[in-house]
Structure 1
Amino acid sequence: MGRRPQPEIRDRLLDACTDHALAHGLPDRLEQLSTATGTSARMLVYHFGTRDALLRAVLQRARQRQLDAFGDLLRPRPDEAYTVTLQRAWASFTGTDGQPYLRMFGALRESAEQQLWPGFRRTATTDWLGPLEDGLGSIGRPELATLVLAVIRGLLMDLDSTGDRARADRAFDIFLGTLGDHQHDNVDATSGRRAG
């Protein structure tokens, strides 16, 4: 009688594989992940079925980590202007916390590895709309979510292409200034006072 799969071992292996892939990229060979996890390639196949199934699970685990961490950063806070919330989120997206995700998912978008996650580009876009709509709803402008997401994604691509952090940060600050105007207009509209 064969051994039964043990979900706690699979979960521990998946976390270790995800940590390794975020630090070093998706590997070409299972041996890199077996070394990182301290197990054999055969045991990884036992727990995940195939190399591609393991890599898909790694991508999904990494994406869930990213959504949890950065989704929380995008949540509105009661005593904070949403533009401040967005500024902090931008700093985290583009800083050391966000770099592993940008590398991993940027490479996925540009490679044949997309076969591991068909439809990833669409999912990677639309799954940020809900948190942004909620946050922008706090300034009465949830319809700006697509625009804000497009600016963030465009500036991330620019940053990846040029490495010019100062210019990308400056552009994002200018953009946030326009949102601040919307926030100010919304406050004036609800209070019945004119701006200026």
Structure 2
Amino acid sequence: MGRHKQPEIRERILDACVDHALVHGLPDRLEPFATASGTSARMLIYHFGTRDALLRETLRRARRRQRDFFGDLICPRPDEPYPVTLRRAWQVMTGPAGRPYLTMFGRLRENAGQRLWPGFRRESTTDWLEPFEDGMRSMGRPELATLVLAVVRGLIMDIETTGDVSRADRAFDDFLTALALVTETPATADRRHRA
């Protein structure tokens, strides 16, 4: 009689593989994952079936972590204006805590014919739309969520390509200033002009 798989061991291994992939990228061989998870390549196959199945699950778990982490960052808060929330979210997403996710999924997005997650490019283009709509709804302009998403994605791609974070930060600040002007109420605009 064979051994029964233990889900808690599989989960621990998967978390260790995600931690490794976020720092080092997806490996070409199983050995780096085996070392990172404290097991053997044979046990990885035992728990996940194939290398590609393990890589797919690693990507999906990392994406779930990113969605939870970034989703919390861009969630509107009742005690602050949404542009303030966006500015803080931008700093964290493009800072040390967020960069591993941007690097991992930037590479995946660039690989148009990639086999591990068909449809990722489309999914990664639209999966942040709803949280941004919620945030922009707090400013009375949920229809601007596509614009916010496009600016965030574009500037992230700029950082990935050029590494010029300070220029992208200035551009994002300029965007937030413009966004505040576009979304201000007539009464707010009138008070600003009188000041």
Indicate whether the TM-score tops 0.5: yes
- Secondary structure of the corresponding residue to residue 68 of structure 1: helix
Distance 1:168 1:135 in 2: 21
Structure 2 partner of 1:155: 155
Letter in 2 for 1:164: D
1:49-128 counterparts in 2 under 5 A?
49-111=49-111, 114-128=114-128
Distance 2:112 2:151 in 1: 26
* 8 A contact 2:76–2:134 mirrored in 1: yes
Q: Which moved more, 1:160-169 or 1:132-141?
A: 160-169
List alignment gaps of at least 5 residues for structure 2: none
Distance 1:147 1:111 in 2: 24
Distance 1:49 1:185 in 2: 57
Distance 1:116 1:17 in 2: 16
Give the direction of change, closer, same or farther, for the CA distance of 1:113–1:13 in structure 2 (3 Å limit). farther
Distance 1:105 1:97 in 2: 14
- Secondary structure of the corresponding residue to residue 185 of structure 2: helix
Q: How far did residue 162 of structure 1 move?
A: 1.2
- Secondary structure of the corresponding residue to residue 116 of structure 1: coil
Distance 1:31 1:162 in 2: 32
Root mean square deviation, CA, Å: 1.5
Letter in 1 for 2:48: F
Alignment coverage as a number of residue pairs: 192
List alignment gaps of at least 5 residues for structure 1: none
Structure 2 partner of 1:23: 23
Q: Deviations over 1:143-171 (max 9, x none)?
A: 00111000011111111111111110000
Structure 2 partner of 1:166: 166
- Secondary structure of the corresponding residue to residue 115 of structure 1: coil
Q: How far did residue 108 of structure 1 move?
A: 1.1
- Secondary structure of the corresponding residue to residue 156 of structure 2: helix
Q: How far did residue 185 of structure 1 move?
A: 2.1
Q: How far did residue 114 of structure 1 move?
A: 2.2
Distance 2:66 2:134 in 1: 18
Alignment of 1:137 onto 2:156: no
* 8 A contact 2:22–2:100 mirrored in 1: yes
Structure 1 runs of 4+ with >4 Å offset: none
Structure 2 partner of 1:12: 12
Distance 1:151 1:98 in 2: 17
Give the direction of change, closer, same or farther, for the CA distance of 1:123–1:112 in structure 2 (3 Å limit). closer
Q: How far did residue 178 of structure 1 move?
A: 1.2
Distance 1:111 1:171 in 2: 27
Provide the TM-score with structure 2 as the length reference.
Answer: 0.94
